[in-house]
């Protein structure tokens, strides 16, 4: 704010993030999320607010600002109003000891609620209404039964944070405060290392949504990664639950997470939502990209995935209306020939192995999976999409698929690739490659891509067509009755792709 000609920056805009999965919320973003709540809530002196995963305390601070203004007429005395709001209406649970101190400083203007410089006069406990307790994970077969954390990584001594987040490490979250809440709001931790290969991590934000619903608030609003739209690792049940919950009133979706969190790369984008206990019906969808917004209303459970762009919905409807079989029925699962990524060619062999660094001999007799594909023409494609982390470029366009190639008979591959189609004739394999290079094909694949990873399910909207025909975008657009607007939208989202090994 301006003061005597000097600019005093909001300190909460200057904080560095703890990590890519524990991201501080900028004050302006917190304010936009709170804007989803009805105006009347800020004039209700009985309403209770909970942020069960405090980091900087920004949500609690912004809530306090609104209540201070909204209750001015009901409680004219400023100090009495502060005491009432801070003791009766605003509550938090911090995710670490550090964020507990930071959150109390943001809300009470003191790292202790009863400190000399605290704006309140009501607390005896230094924690005030912002809890934090260092608790332990509950292990079963070396994984936490609540969050799935790896025992190898998170069983630590008392001097280190366990990241056993208090709110989700209990079967009875209502006992944390022993009260009902009207609003639960915040930005939960997104994932935890699961002890898998490399930087493997599992999402945990869905656990915070589940736990919040257990408390049955009137309103629930959170900002979380958008990857749940398509499901995937640990998120399939959560996706189904969200898409079939008609109390979801609004979703604001950002393809590029950096529009919410500058400098932060979150695969598949970010979204925030409003869930309202006592309301139901079609959900308002706001898709935001490069400062532009598109708004639509629709039932979330129309498709098996959440389609973020309203312009894509009529296109998918026209494709599905043909009731054709879909490519997910013929695309292979991981390890089409049972070989892991790190498997290398052998010194001698009677067939050829394609792996991530080239080709070499391999013994046919050692292959026990995909035997029926070995002597046919195969079209393969990389399991990793071309676009970084599943996000479009600055122009909003994607190439989607990375490497596409044809394997002749007596050639196999490792799990670096998926087998997209298997044919008796080379010409059929070549026609599939041409089909895959169309914008139509790659657009339908892109609707399931919220990360760089591609699975057989990513092809669930793509129809299986006769590969004796050489398909083109023009033929496909006519076949499915796409309008000029439909075609223009596809063109705006998908880059050209011409050469087989481009």
What is the residue-wise DSSP string for 436-474?
HHSHHHHHHHHTT-SSSB--GGGGTTSBP--TTS---HH
Distance in angstroms (rounded) separating the CA atoms of residues 155 and 144: 10
Count of CA atoms in the C-beta half-sphere (13 A) of 224: 27
User: Which of the four pLDDT bands, split at 50, 70 and 90, describes residue 13?
Assistant: low
Whole-angstrom distance, CA of residue 270 vs CA of residue 283: 17
d(C-alpha 165, C-alpha 161), whole Å: 10
Q: How is residue 41 annotated by DSSP?
A: G
- Contact 373/380 with Cβ under 8 angstroms? no
What pLDDT is stored for residue 8 in this prediction? 43
Residue partners of 263: CB distance under 8 A and separation at least 6:
none
- pLDDT reading at 389 higher than 80: no
| Rounded-to-integer distance, Cα 24 and Cα 10, Å | 13
Give the pLDDT confidence score for residue 198 in this predicted structure: 46
Dihedral (Cα; 463, 469, 471, 475), 10-degree rounding: -90
Q: Where along the chain do its domains lie? A: 327-493
Q: What is the full DSSP assignment across 349-378?
A: -SEEEEETTEEEEE-GGG--SSGGGTTSEE
Q: What integer pLDDT is reported at residue 421 of this predicted model?
A: 98
CA–CA distance, 270 with 255 (Å, rounded to integer): 7
Among 109-113, 219-223, 405-409, whose mean pLDDT is lowest?
A: 109-113
Mean pLDDT of 210-226: 96
Q: Render pLDDT for 37-56 as a digit per residue (tens, 0 to 9).
A: 999 999 999 999 999 999 99
Helix 58-70 × helix 78-88 angle, to 10°? 130
H or E element, residue 25: none
Query: What sign results for the dihedral spanned by CA atoms 31, 242, 321, 297?
Result: negative
Provide the pLDDT for residue 394. Answer: 60
7 CB-near residues (< 8 Å, 6+ apart): none
pLDDT at 392: 64
Q: Are 268 and 182 in contact (CB under 8 A)?
A: no
**Is it the case that residue 3 has pLDDT exceeding 50?**
no
Calculate mean pLDDT across residues 309-318: 95
What is the residue whose two structure tokens read 């009731």?
323
- Please name every residue paired with 275 in a beta bridge, in sequence order, or none if there are none: 220, 248
pLDDT (0 to 100) of residue 194: 61
Take residue 269 and report the two structure tokens written for it: 């984008």
Give the residue carrying structure tokens 């083109």.
Answer: 472
pLDDT of residue 396: 72
pLDDT at 165: 93
Q: Tell whether the model's pLDDT for residue 285 goes beyond 70.
A: yes
* Six token digits for residue 425: 């004739």
Q: DSSP label at 51?
A: E
Q: What does the block give as tokens for 210?
A: 């589940």
More confident site: 5 or 159: 159
Asked if the model's pLDDT at residue 92 lies above 70, the reply is: yes
pLDDT for residue 465 is more than 70: yes
Length of the chain, please?
502
> How much is the pLDDT for 243?
95
Angle at 274 between CA 222 and CA 28, to 5 degrees: 55
Q: Which residue has the tokens 């639960």?
A: 184
Distance between CA 85 and CA 89 in Å, rounded? 5
pLDDT attached to residue 24 = 86
Q: So what's the pLDDT on residue 391?
A: 59
* Interatomic CA distance for residues 329 and 173, integer angstroms: 42
Cβ 253 vs Cβ 223: under 8 Å: no
What backbone torsions phi and psi does residue 134 show, to the nearest 5 degrees? -75, 110
| Arithmetic mean of pLDDT, 397-408 | 91
The Cα–Cα gap between 365 and 346 comes to 13
DSSP conformational letter for 37:
S
């Amino acid at each position: 704010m301006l003061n005597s000609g000097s600019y005093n920056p909001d300190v909460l805009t200057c904080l560095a993030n703890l990590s890519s999965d524990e991201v501080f919320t900028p004050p302006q973003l917190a304010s936009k999320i709170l804007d989803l709540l009805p105006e009347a809530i800020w004039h209700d002196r009985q309403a209770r607010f909970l942020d069960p995963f405090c980091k900087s305390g920004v949500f609690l601070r912004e809530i306090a600002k609104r209540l201070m203004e909204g209750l001015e007429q009901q409680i004219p005395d400023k100090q009495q109003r502060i005491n009432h709001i801070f003791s009766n209406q605003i509550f938090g649970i911090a995710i670490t000891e550090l964020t507990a101190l930071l959150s109390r400083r943001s809300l009470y203007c003191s790292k202790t609620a009863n400190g000399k410089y605290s704006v309140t006069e009501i607390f005896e406990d230094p924690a005030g209404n912002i809890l934090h307790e260092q608790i332990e994970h509950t292990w079963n077969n070396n994984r936490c039964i609540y969050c799935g954390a790896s025992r190898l990584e998170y069983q630590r001594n008392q001097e280190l944070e366990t990241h056993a987040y208090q709110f989700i490490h209990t079967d009875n979250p209502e006992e944390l405060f022993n009260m009902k809440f009207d609003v639960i709001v915040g930005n939960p931790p997104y994932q935890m290392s699961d002890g898998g290969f490399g930087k493997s991590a599992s999402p945990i934000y869905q656990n915070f949504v589940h736990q919040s619903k257990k408390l049955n608030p009137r309103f629930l609003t959170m900002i979380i990664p958008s990857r749940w739209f398509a499901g995937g690792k640990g998120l399939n049940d959560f996706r189904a639950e969200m898409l079939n919950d008609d109390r979801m009133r609004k979703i604001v979706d950002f393809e590029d997470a950096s529009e919410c969190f500058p400098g932060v790369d979150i695969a598949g984008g970010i979204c925030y939502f409003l869930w309202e206990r006592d309301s139901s019906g079609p959900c308002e969808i706001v898709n935001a990209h490069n400062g532009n917004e598109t708004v639509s209303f629709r039932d979330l459970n129309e498709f098996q995935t959440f389609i973020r762009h309203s312009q894509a919905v009529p296109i998918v409807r026209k494709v599905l209306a043909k009731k054709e079989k879909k490519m997910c029925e013929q695309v292979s699962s991981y390890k089409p020939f049972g070989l892991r990524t790190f498997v290398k060619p052998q010194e001698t062999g009677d067939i050829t192995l394609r792996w991530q660094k080239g080709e070499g001999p391999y013994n046919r007799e050692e292959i026990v999976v995909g035997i029926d594909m070995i002597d046919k023409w195969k079209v393969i494609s990389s399991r990793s999409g071309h676009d970084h982390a599943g996000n479009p470029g600055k122009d909003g366009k994607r190439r989607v698929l990375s490497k596409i190639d044809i394997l002749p008979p007596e050639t196999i591959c490792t799990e670096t690739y998926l087998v997209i189609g298997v044919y008796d004739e080379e010409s059929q394999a070549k026609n599939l490659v041409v089909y895959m290079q169309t914008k139509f094909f790659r657009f339908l694949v892109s609707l399931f891509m919220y990360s760089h990873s591609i699975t057989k399910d990513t092809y669930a909207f793509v129809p299986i067509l006769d590969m004796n025909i050489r398909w083109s975008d023009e033929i496909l657009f006519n076949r499915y009755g796409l309008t000029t607007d439909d075609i223009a939208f596809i063109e705006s989202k998908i880059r050209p792709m011409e050469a087989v090994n481009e």
